[in-house]
């Protein structure tokens, strides 16, 4: 089974679930149509990474056909992610997501259409908070209704629960680090571990293995591959957030710099900066009005200090650690090939 | 079994669940302690109405001892409610909840303690969004781990899912009505139905009955009692939001007027207002700086127009409809007595 085939099946499962909710929501009121439209727009994009790792974790652990149940359970992770993205965009006041207006901006437009531009900001934010809540509720609803064996669903639920607690905790630690601004590589890595590494790769693999009744050995090997790969994935994200091509990432150039994200890349830069460079970082990083010249200046410092090189070296080391764990993992051959491909995609991607 | 005894058991179940999560959260990072402190403060208050109706729905439908499973499942509704309250307070920018600072205000104080007053507002809001997300995730985690029979949990899950979708939909319609301001009694009642009536009383009863394997007749009778009682409950809430004693409600006097809530009480008033009265309502309702004199002026109009009397008459009619449904419901005698008491408490309360 190819990676792209699974992706299509995940897309179909998501569509089927949302289409199943549509009449129920619209029977409460046709005025709920904008909630569905915002969700449709969000789900039109995305790499479906978490479902992919969940599926291949299941396959790696010897999960048996038919695939329908595991594809549905795996696809539910995309609704969890949709919830996180919508709420994240509210917290960060982001204008765009996946190349489209963010959910709260969409709802703001609705208030303007209703002739209430003055109420647009609180309405947009409130509606987006509710959309994120709905996605979070629906993710567990979809998971529980996946049709997999009840005992397996229960085994997987423990992982699912942990993953939710971890990602929300990681996001809180991220906000806290933004306030504290300790700015150390260690503090940034702690956020990466819970907000991204476990959530995006390690736990989806773990969940897939649990849903297949995978042995402790298989689950352990998958997690040993997933954790460093998850860190490498997030470090690549940090690099793309500063140097990525807007046409590929769907986000304005240098958006992470404007937001002042305290990433590992920034921490590596700060750790190497001269007093003069540190002063520039302090002045420009997190300036919402940062222009192209400011972005270029910060990029220059990230390169000149060796911050970028240090981050790329970390990506290489973590990716190698993941590859090594994969080589010795007691898993199916088909899964090994898919997980190798996913590892390359996660760490060398352009978006 | 008395109402107060069940309440104590629900409190104990909540404490046990949160205490079970505490070490897991703190092992991610001790910096997560403020999340737990904010949740503890929130759960210290509250009437536990939803768990009570869920428990008595179970009892009414012939649920058998031991009670532990149903108490845990019922108590999980309090975490769902905690999520709704925390997010509601963000959306409404409310300063207080249950007589304490609201969650986002607590987190704002934390940012100030960290020496970052300028970052307090976005940090407070972001952290509160995450706390609400965590409560929502934990509510389903607690429900699924209640220990009730798996088939019953699955039956109840369908009700639980519906209830979540309904309350989030009702909250969205509430925001939309705030923007549209049609201001009609019908529009306000539609919000009441989904945001409050079903969520607070009808669905918790429905859930309890489903968890006991209640017959269609019992479930139907409980819902016939719950729906009008839920509307009466919310209309009482509307009246308390304008005329309630701050010492009892834990909210500043006239808070709903300052927020500009488009309640049934307000709609009944607007429908009866003279041109001069309508002009005053238009000018004062929703003014965040509304002072005591303004509150008094609006209260006077609500009384003088007969808006208050109309709302009280509706409360009486809906409460009577609920009482009538209860009289003929095919349920246990013990539950009938408890549900009579709960109906009186829900509609004649001071807070």
Interface test with A, best of B129, B150, B155, B196 (most A CBs within 10 A): B129
Cα B233–chain centre separation = 10
Answer yes or no: do B175 and A126 touch at CB < 8 A. Answer: yes
Nearest CA in chain A to B21: A165
- Strand partners of residue A101: A96
pLDDT tens digits, residue range A272-286? 999 999 999 999 998
Pick from B103, B97, B93: nearest CA to B130: B103
Give the gap in angstroms from C-alpha A345 to the nearest C-alpha of chain B: 29
Pairing of strands B100-101, B96-97: antiparallel
Q: Mean of the pLDDT values across residues B149-162?
A: 97
Q: Assess: ipTM above 0.85.
A: yes
Q: Looking at the partner chain, which of A25, A150, A172 has a beta carbon nearest the beta carbon of B169?
A: A25
In order of A118, B241, B265, the CA distances from B310 in angstroms are: 32, 16, 8
Cis peptide before B66 (omega within 30 of 0): yes
- Give CA–CA dist B195/B164, Å, rounded: 10
Answer yes or no: do B175 and A123 touch at CB < 8 A. Answer: yes
**Per-residue pLDDT at B2:** 83
**Per-residue pLDDT at A170:** 95
Pick from B35, B5, B42: nearest CA to B21: B35
pLDDT tens digits, residue range B335-347? 999 999 999 988 9
User: Mean pLDDT lowest for which of A250-254, A259-263, B42-46, B303-307?
Assistant: A250-254
Answer yes or no: do A179 and B114 touch at CB < 8 A. Answer: yes
Chain B residues close to A28, C-beta within 8 Å? 165-166, 169-170, 173, 194
**Per-residue pLDDT at B1:** 67
**DSSP letter string, B103-169:** HHHHHHHHHHHTT-GGGHHHHHHHHHHHHHHHHHHHHHHHHHTS-S-HHHHHHHHHHHHHHHHHHHH
Q: Give buried/exposed letters for B90-113 (b at 16+ CB in 10 A, else e).
A: bbbebebbbeebbbbbbbbebbbe
**What are residue A27's phi and psi, to 5 degrees?**
-75, -25
pLDDT tens digits, residue range A159-177? 999 999 999 999 999 999 9
Alpha helices by DSSP H, listed for chain A, are 3-28, 33-43, 49-60, 68-92, 103-113, 120-144, 150-180, 185-191, 203-211, 216-243, 246-249, 255-259, 264-272, 275-284, 292-304, 307-327, 333-348
- Give CA–CA dist A88/A26, Å, rounded: 26
Answer yes or no: do A172 and B32 touch at CB < 8 A. Answer: yes
Answer yes or no: do B129 and A24 touch at CB < 8 A. Answer: no
Answer yes or no: do A134 and B165 touch at CB < 8 A. Answer: yes
Chain A residues close to B91, C-beta within 8 Å? 122, 125-126, 129
pLDDT tens digits, residue range B263-320? 999 999 999 999 999 999 999 998 989 999 999 999 999 999 999 999 999 999 999 9
Q: Looking at the partner chain, which of A129, A141, A173 has a beta carbon nearest the beta carbon of B90?
A: A129
Q: Looking at the partner chain, which of B31, B87, B140 has a beta carbon nearest the beta carbon of A140?
A: B140
**Per-residue pLDDT at A1:** 67
- Give CA–CA dist A156/A207, Å, rounded: 5
Q: What is the largest CA-CA distance in chain B?
A: 62
- Give CA–CA dist A65/A212, Å, rounded: 11
Q: Which residue carries 């200046």 as its tokens?
A: A297
Chain A residues close to B176, C-beta within 8 Å? 31, 123, 127
Structure letter (DSSP) for residue A31:
G
Answer yes or no: do A29 and B173 touch at CB < 8 A. Answer: yes
Nearest CA in chain B to A32: B169
- Give CA–CA dist A236/A240, Å, rounded: 6
| Cβ-based burial of A31 (10 A; exposed 0-12, middle 13-18, buried ≥19) | middle
Give the gap in angstroms from C-alpha A246 to the nearest C-alpha of chain B: 26
Q: Mean of the pLDDT values across residues A18-45?
A: 96
Long-range contacts of B21-26 (CB under 8 A, 24+ apart): B21/A165, B21/B138, B24/A162, B24/A165, B25/A165, B25/A169
Give the gap in angstroms from C-alpha A121 to the nearest C-alpha of chain B: 10
**Interface contacts (A, B; CB < 8 Å):** 150
Q: Which residue carries 């460093």 as its tokens?
A: A228
Chain B residues close to A90, C-beta within 8 Å? 129
Q: How many alpha carbons fall within 13 Å on the CB side of residue A104?
A: 25
A258 φψ region: left (φ > 0), alpha (ψ -120 to 50), beta (else): alpha
Q: Mean of the pLDDT values across residues B61-69?
A: 92
């Amino acid at each position: 089974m190819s990676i792209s085939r699974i992706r299509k099946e995940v897309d179909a499962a998501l569509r089927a679930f949302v289409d199943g909710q549509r009449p129920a929501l619209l029977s409460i009121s046709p005025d709920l149509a904008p909630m569905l439209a915002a969700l449709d727009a969000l789900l039109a994009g995305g790499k479906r990474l978490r479902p992919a790792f969940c599926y291949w974790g299941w396959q790696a652990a010897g999960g048996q056909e038919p695939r329908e149940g595991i594809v549905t359970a795996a696809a539910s992770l995309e609704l969890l992610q949709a919830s996180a993205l919508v709420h994240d965009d509210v917290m960060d006041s982001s204008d765009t997501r996946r190349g489209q207006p963010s959910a709260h901006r969409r709802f703001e437009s609705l208030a303007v259409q209703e002739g209430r531009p003055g109420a647009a900001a609180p309405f947009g934010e409130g509606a987006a908070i509710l959309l994120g809540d709905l996605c979070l509720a629906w993710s567990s609803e979809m998971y529980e209704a996946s049709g997999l064996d009840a005992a397996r669903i229960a085994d997987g639920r423990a992982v699912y629960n942990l993953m939710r607690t971890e990602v929300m905790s990681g996001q809180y630690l991220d906000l806290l680090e933004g306030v504290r601004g300790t700015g150390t590589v260690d503090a940034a890595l702690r956020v990466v571990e819970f907000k991204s590494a476990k959530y995006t790769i390690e736990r989806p693999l773990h969940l897939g293995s649990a849903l297949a009744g995978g042995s402790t050995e298989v689950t352990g090997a998958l997690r040993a591959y997933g954790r460093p790969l998850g860190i490498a994935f997030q470090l690549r994200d940090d690099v793309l957030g500063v140097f990525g091509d807007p046409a590929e990432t769907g986000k304005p150039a240098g958006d992470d710099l404007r937001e002042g994200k305290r990433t590992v890349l920034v921490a590596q830069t700060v750790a190497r900066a001269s007093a003069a460079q540190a002063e520039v970082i302090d002045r420009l990083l997190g300036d919402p009005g940062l222009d192209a010249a400011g972005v270029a200046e910060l990029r220059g410092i990230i390169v000149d200090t060796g911050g970028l090189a240090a981050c790329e070296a970390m990506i290489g080391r973590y990716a190698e650690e993941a590859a090594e764990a994969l080589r010795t993992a007691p898993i199916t051959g088909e899964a090994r090939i898919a997980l190798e491909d996913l590892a390359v995609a996660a760490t060398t991607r352009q978006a």
